[in-house]
Each structure stands twice: as C-alpha cells, then as structure tokens.
Amino acid sequence: MESLNYTHIKLLAFDVLALTPSPIGPISFSRKGMPVLHVESLGIVVTREQKPGKFLKFTIDDGTGCIPCILWLNQLVSPYFSRRDPSAVKFNADMAARLAAQIHLGAVARVCGKVKRYRGTLQITASNVVLEADPNAQVLHWLDCVRLARNCYDKFAKNRGKGQILC
C-alpha cells in the first residue's frame, strides 16, 4: 500500500480540499491516515488566468467542490531547471505551452499533479492535463473515486503496517 505514494490517487474535489497536513513531512498530506502526494481529479474548467511565460491558474469544478490548479510555464527561465538536460527542459516547456493553449472555460479537464498548499489553500500543481471529449468521463471518474475510496483508501488506516495489499 505504501507504493500509492508514487501514484496519482483519484479523488473528488471535496476529498482533495479536506486533505490534512501529514505528520510525515511538510510537503505531504493525508486522507483518513493514508499519505497523499499526487492526485488525479476531473471537472469543468470554471476559471482561467494566464500570465504568459509564467503560469496558468485555473479551477476545476466536479460538482463536489472547486479545486485550484496551476500549470507552470516558466521552465525556460526558472533556475530550478538550469541543471537539467536542455532538450528535456525545452520538451517540458513546449508541452506545458500546448496544454495551456488547450485549457479553456467550460472544458472537462482531467488534472494529475502534486498537492501543494499556497497561501493557506490547497491546490494541484499540474504535471499533466487531459481534455476529455467523452460525455461520460465525469460520471465514470465519480464512480472510480467512490469505488477506490470504499475498497482501498478507506481501509488504509485500518490495515496500515500489516503488509496487506488492499487494492
């Protein structure tokens, strides 16, 4: 179960917004005792604010709440990326720019990324955004979230440390 730290946990907005800081560390959160670092959520884009060359802030609404998201667009000028392979940085910058151009109000977007706290508010720092064309995508996501919560995530606290794989 500990390997879920490296997976995107499918959560509805109300679960993402209810995450609590984890005692493990300042960059980790927990849901009912289960560590959560990466999440996947899906909803309608209801706000969009872009600062060209810096970031795209947007909010997704899945019917249970609104999750603020940020997609960084500063890979080419950020000192954070200065030690990385220039071709990989260029590839990431191009991909982020393409994603930012596709995200528009009213689109149904699946967002994967790290949960972070910024100015007291939880947000997803997007590593990937996929626009959904399937009209059933939201309902299927809700069903996945409920199934995983019941059969996997909620049982984590009860079985933690017993070495059982629940999912």
Instruction: Report the CATH number at residue 123.
Output: 2.40.50.140
* Pick from 7, 13, 9, 5: nearest CA to 42: 13
CB-based burial label for 68 (10 Å; 0-12, 13-18, 19+): middle
In a domain, 48, yes or no: yes
3: pLDDT strictly greater than 80: no
Number of domains into which the chain is organized = 1
164 falls within a domain: no
Residue 107 covered by a domain = yes
pLDDT band at 1 (very low <50, low <70, confident <90, very high): very low
**Given this model, what pLDDT does residue 75 score?**
83
Is 59 domain-assigned?
A: yes
Q: Is residue 165 part of a domain?
A: no
Q: Is residue 7 within 8 Å of residue 112, measured between CB atoms? A: no
28 within some domain: yes
State the Cα–Cα distance between residues 111 and 34, nearest whole angstrom: 21
Contacts of 149 (CB under 8 A, 6+ apart): 15
Residue 79: pLDDT above 60?
yes
Q: Which domain holds residue 40?
A: 2-159
Q: What is the pTM of this model?
A: 0.86
Summarize pLDDT for 38-47 with one digit per residue, the tens.
Answer: 999 999 999 9
Q: For 145-154, what is each residue's pLDDT tens digit? A: 999 988 888 7
Residue 30 placed within a domain: yes
In a domain, 167, yes or no: no
- pLDDT of 107 > 60? The answer is yes
